[in-house]
Amino acid sequence: MNPLREGLSMRTLAQPCIVVIFGATGDLTMRKLIPALYNITADGEMPPGVAVVGFARREKTDEQFRTEQEETTRKFSRQQVRDDVWNQFAGSLFYHQSEFHDPAGYKRLVDRLNKLDDERGTGGNLLFYLAVAPDQSEAILKNLKAVGLNKGRNGGWARVIVEKPFGTDLPSAQELNKVVRTAFSEEQTYRIDHFLGKETAQNILVLRFANATFEPIWNARYVDHIQITAAETLGVESRAGYYEGAGALRDMVQNHLLQLLCLVAMEPPTDLSADSVRDEKLKVVRSLRRLAESEVGNDVIRGQYSAGAINGKEVPDYRSEKNVNPQSMTETYVALRLHLDNWRWGGVPIFMRVGKRLPKSGTEISVHFKKAPSVLFNKESEGHGHNVLVIRIQPDEGISLRIEAKLPGTSLRIEPVKMDFHYGTSFGKASPEAYERLLLDAMAGDATLFARRDEVEEAWAFIDAIQHAWQAKENAPPLCFYPAGSWGPDEADKLIASEGRTWRRL
């Protein structure tokens, strides 16, 4: 044991490599990936010698690519861009022009990567990031394999990060998994969900398993119900081309919200290795009670925003948005009632909701504990509520616990109070962006926060049953409408009210 590292985190360190980003001129690269890589450099966590090669179709020089990335990084970086750090980082940025389907472009890429490996000493390690539409993935993967880039050079490693959506249903996810498997093994494949890179999402496991306070009561005996909410004030914006074919169910529930549910509901893993954690998450998805088509209308509400106002500004209805079908049946809101058929959570309803054009943006998990017996306080305690543990994923990452306390005074009056923990104020520094953590984990070969093939396919199997019911020619559940700026359709309130509960206000 190195005495200088005593007490420090023993997480696997990121290794020198060449990061190749396919779709280097796209929105994801400019808003998230390059700023994340810059911040890793600024924080001193970037392994030595790392090079970043942008792969895209447009003609561009290295210098043009660096200039464009500097402009967007200064705009989107979580911390102010320092000239000295940027100049150091920019020297590691390169650009490679080619069509995704052009084999000759990949042969040139091999020569470019070999030269960079020799110059920068990256040990033959390669990390490919597919920041492209899903229909481009197959051509890229096949061409990488054809030129031997699915293996590291001289004993190094090769890994591929695949962005969501990983398929659009179970058959397409299985087909994409098959395509990926022809080029990269499961151990080389990293399916990314940026929600799992957020500090608070990672802290769920620590909160549950490192504190003796919570784990003994984290079960059906003490928990009344669980709510998971992901709300956005934004509309479809410029994503109509993608969103029309996806909708809120496929875009958010299948990956983000089910991933958060897995972290909340999973059993303790045997250790913190990637497969031990992912084994337990898989059990949660498998224990989700499947909905028959006849049950979907009772347990799932789909909605679409109509015209309304956000923060006092009038906004159009979804069907009037640019590139949206005027008769679109795409849902911008989903509310679900779920059940996990296992020993820990049997009988505990789980409510999820996700929507666009809601009054407030935020993602949170709330665990509502059962009420204490009222025999001690009798009438005085009428109206006192549940203890609620709230895990805020974004914004203002943190955790709060609502408890009951006596109001000061001569009479016995009970009022709820909150015990609050904020990441920013408690630790005195901002949390890193999710992509920063996930990129470093991929460089280190730690797949804990990435989805495994079987988990993705099980999630799609659950979602497909809902999607099929919505698309049925007869007796399909109706599409409900809600004004922009409201908290969703009335039917969603009735869904949770039928269980004697109400949605928690963000």
Buried b (16+ CB within 10 A) or exposed e, 297-317: bebbbbbbbbbbebeeeebbb
Spatial distance between the Cα atoms of 160 and 188, rounded to a whole number of angstroms: 6
Nearest to 449 by CA among 12, 54, 130: 12
Nearest-10 crossing angle of helices 453-470, 170-183: 150
Spatial distance between the Cα atoms of 110 and 369, rounded to a whole number of angstroms: 57
Beta strand segments in 260-387, E: 300-306, 308-310, 313-315, 333-338, 350-355, 362-369
Half-sphere exposure (Cβ direction) of 265: Cα atoms closer than 13 Å = 31
Phi (first) and psi of residue 392, to 5 degrees: -90, 115
The one catalytic residue among 96, 194, 225, 256: 256
256 is catalytic: yes
474, exposed or middle or buried, with CB in 10 Å at 0-12, 13-18, 19+?
exposed
State the DSSP string of 108-158.
HHHHHHHHHHHHHT-TT-EEEEE-S-HHHHHHHHHHHHHTTTTS-GGG--E
Find how far residue 41's CA is from the centre of its chain: 23
* Per-residue DSSP letter, 506: -
Nearest-10 crossing angle of helices 453-470, 274-287: 20
Q: What is the SS3 assignment for 8?
A: coil
Two structure tokens written together for 386: 């549940």
Longest dimension (CA), the chain: 84
**Which residues belong to the active site?**
256
